[in-house]
Amino acid sequence: MDVGGGVWSVPVPIPGNPLGYTLVYAVESPGGPVLIDAGWNHPDAWLALTEGLASVGMDVADVRGVVVTHYHPDHSGLAGQVRESSGAWIAMHEADIALVRLFRDVVKDGNHKNFQADMLRRAGADSHEVAEGVANRPEPPALPDLSLTDGDLIDLPGRRLRTIWTPGHSPGHICLHLEDADRLFTGDHVLPDITPHIGIYPYDRNDIDPLSDFMTSLLRVTELGPIEALPAHEIRFPDVSARAAEIHTHHEEKLQRLRTLLAETPEPLTIWEVAARMTWNRPWDQLPPMLRGMAAGEAAAHLRTLEARDVIERTADEPVRFVIHS
């Protein structure tokens, strides 16, 4: 789709995922197009990306670079293949590059399944859920060439595309402000109808607080005002500031519900037990293993924020349990 101002969107499918597709954006420049995200690493996705670019007169071999909004496989998966086909650079925020290095080292050492299984056990998953949860994990993405920090301008001749660091959905998630057109590529940070996943991995970490980071990042985006948002999923929408404020309110309400749940439960709960009692888009027993794992990650993030606010506390048990602060 021509979204105007020398920007095109290409829907790249995510096989077997309810999101359906990732919107990869191609931004024209005299030095060749720069892609924002690349899509899932799958033959059908590669075909959709290359044919989508060709349909608007672009050859993947002419791509100048790929800016990855964050390391997740539906955004970074095909970046390496684009680089192999074109010689393009791959850019990502430094915090997510550190994670890509870590994941690649874990896979190289052959410990990724053990790492995943141990994380699930410590959260309170039973042995059957552990076995299901470690199956079919995607390969880590290609290692980027360029490290980005907040405020960096992207190498896009004739245009001004600036990095805005918006941690939360991932530690190195970025939005990209096309300053010459006053539009914002939001990645997964702000979406028009759904709220992005905010999780902690491993679930029982207590040295990070991604939900608080995310909510701070939302407030930063609201300061941009009512500009058009070009998200990585669903559809573009006209007022990123208003939507960011709505998502911020949604999470405050979710935190209050979780506080009430723990206050009304006499015994300490594991992360897995909390996730099973929270409200999702389907009942807990109907969630497939991957979505249960993501739900547990999101439950952990909300628990961690309440802990950081001194509302709840964790026990020294394994698996770790949470209870209202005494």
Structural domain spans, the chain: 2-110+141-259
pLDDT digits (tens, 9 = 90+) for 220-244: 999 999 999 999 999 999 999 999 9
* pLDDT at residue 137, rounded to an integer: 62
C-beta of residue 23 within 8 angstroms of C-beta of residue 11? yes
C-beta of residue 185 within 8 angstroms of C-beta of residue 56? no
Stretch (H or E) spanning 197: none
Lowest mean pLDDT among 21-30, 32-41, 102-111: 102-111
Helix-then-strand count for the chain, H and E = 10, 13
Token look-up 């670079």 returns 65
pLDDT digits (tens, 9 = 90+) for 294-304: 999 999 999 99
* pLDDT at residue 281, rounded to an integer: 87
Report the C-alpha gap between 317 and 309 in whole angstroms: 21
Q: For domain 2-110+141-259, is the CATH number 3.40.50.150?
A: no
- For the entire predicted model, the pTM comes to 0.91
